[in-house]
Amino acid sequence: MESIYDETHELFRESFRSFVEAEMVPRREEFESAGIMDREVYAAAGKHGFTGMAVPEDHGGGGTRDFRFNAIIDQELAAGATGGGGNGLSLHNDITSPYFIEYCTSEQAARWLPGIASGRLITAIAMTEPGTGSDLASIATTAVRDGDEYVVNGSKTFITNGINSDLVIVVARTDPDGGRNGMSLLIVERGMEGFERGRNLDKIGQHSADTAELFFNDVRVPVENLLGEEGRGFEYLSFNLAQERLSIGLMGLAVARSALGWTIDYVKERTAFGQPIAAFQNTKFALAEVATEIEVTQPFVDQCIIELNAGKLTPAKAAMAKLWGSELQTRVTDRCLQLFGGYGYTTEYPIGPAYVDARIATIYGGTTEIMKTIISKEVLG
């Protein structure tokens, strides 16, 4: 199949790959130990045009909504084994920035978009609550209008970029009786009184992706920080879910491809019983199966990217990309780790951290079970 990437994309790839190798790979252990990526990495990425590609040029961005550039960043982050820190950067580009680009007023755009494009304003989105999980319609965080302000109360959890973030898109209930039509999006900014960050959660993987609990205790948010219109929050969330889920799916595919590459190199060099591990039939068959799954998946993901660019990617197809890509990621990292033997269970090779980092892929952005539910609705009609 002909590549969906042209010469401009490949030049962008080379540039970003150099950035990853210079700014992120050498500091991976530092970020993993600290449980957070240095926020200056975002600024450095912004300086080189790797954040805010879709932000309009008059606000300092790249002015392109070609998601192929985002896909290249995700692919190269996976190839560089950047772990959770890379996911924080992808979230900023793929998942949160589109809300600002799409729904900001001209005043909000002038206030926030230049910082988002430069990487100086790091973004996050706060949907999940301790008691809701994937059930967004049941959120309990409230935003009560009081004059020219909303008073926000509630808590969120599992928020990626929760510590680093300067602008948090908070999903809150502005109408207690409005159901899905009673939710709105408010931008809570760093330093607002009553906005507190809980602990940086101690996760089993993706350690450098700061993931926090957030607490809102009578936080007074100016009406000017309402994103879009009141009561349309659920609708707005649906707007970007296809891109979010495709992002997770293509990252899963990219990690799987990287894992295959690491494993091929390892089994050719490592010997057992007097011959390279690559010479054993089991190794050959395992890698043949992994390679086939990856190659069969790539055209589907590429097609989804093209459809997203054209505004034609359906929720069900995005769910398929997320379902298959995330499951492929967990399956392939597990299979490849086995071929490393005991060394796969260490951090000496990237396959070990990649295996642990992969476990969240079938959970965040909507669980595997939620994806199957979405797909089944289209299948059954």
* Each residue's pLDDT expressed in tens, for the chain with a length of 381 residues: 689 999 999 999 999 999 999 999 999 999 999 999 999 999 999 999 999 999 999 999 999 999 999 999 999 999 988 877 788 999 999 999 999 999 999 999 999 999 999 999 999 999 999 977 667 777 999 999 999 999 999 999 999 999 999 999 999 999 998 888 999 999 999 999 999 999 999 999 999 999 999 999 999 999 999 999 999 999 999 889 999 999 999 999 999 999 999 999 999 999 999 999 999 999 999 999 999 999 999 999 999 999 999 999 999 999 999 999 999 999 999 999 999 999 999 999 999 999 999 999 999 999 999 999 999 999 998
Residue 366 tokens read as: 């909507």
Say which CATH class 7-121 falls into: mainly alpha
Cβ atoms of 101 and 55 closer than 8 Å: yes
Residues 6+ apart with CB under 8 A from 282: none
Q: What is the pLDDT of residues 208-222, one digit of tens each?
A: 999 999 999 999 999
Q: What is the pLDDT of residue 133?
A: 67
Q: What is the pLDDT of residue 10?
A: 98
For the chain, the average pLDDT equals 95
Give me the half-sphere count of Cα atoms (radius 13 Å) on the Cβ side of residue 142: 11
Domain with CATH 1.20.140.10 in the chain: 234-380
Other beta carbons less than 10 A from residue 319's beta carbon: 27
Residue 352 tokens read as: 């070990």
Q: What is the DSSP string of 34-95?
A: HTS--THHHHHHHHTT-S-TTS-GGGTS-----HHHHHHHHHHHHHTT-HHHHHHHHIIIII
Q: What is the pLDDT of residue 134?
A: 65
CA–CA separation, 55 and 184 (whole Å): 23
Closest CA to 369 of 329, 336, 327: 327
Cβ atoms of 307 and 313 closer than 8 Å: yes
Q: What is the pLDDT of residue 369?
A: 96
CA–CA separation, 115 and 108 (whole Å): 11
Q: What is the DSSP string of 114-130?
A: HHHHHTSS-EEEE---T
Closest CA to 16 of 6, 3, 25, 4: 25
Q: How far is CA 130 from the centre of its chain?
A: 20
Domain with CATH 1.10.540.10 in the chain: 7-121
Domain with CATH 2.40.110.10 in the chain: 125-231
Catalytic residue among 244, 269, 289, 378: 244
244 assigned to active site: yes
Is domain 234-380 classified as CATH 1.20.140.10? yes
Q: What is the pLDDT of residue 178?
A: 87
**What CATH architecture does domain 125-231 belong to?**
Beta Barrel (2.40)
Q: What is the pLDDT of residues 280-328, one digit of tens each?
A: 999 999 999 999 999 999 999 999 999 999 999 999 999 999 999 999 9
Cβ atoms of 300 and 321 closer than 8 Å: yes
Q: What is the pLDDT of residues 261-278, one digit of tens each?
A: 999 999 999 999 999 999
CA–CA separation, 58 and 109 (whole Å): 10
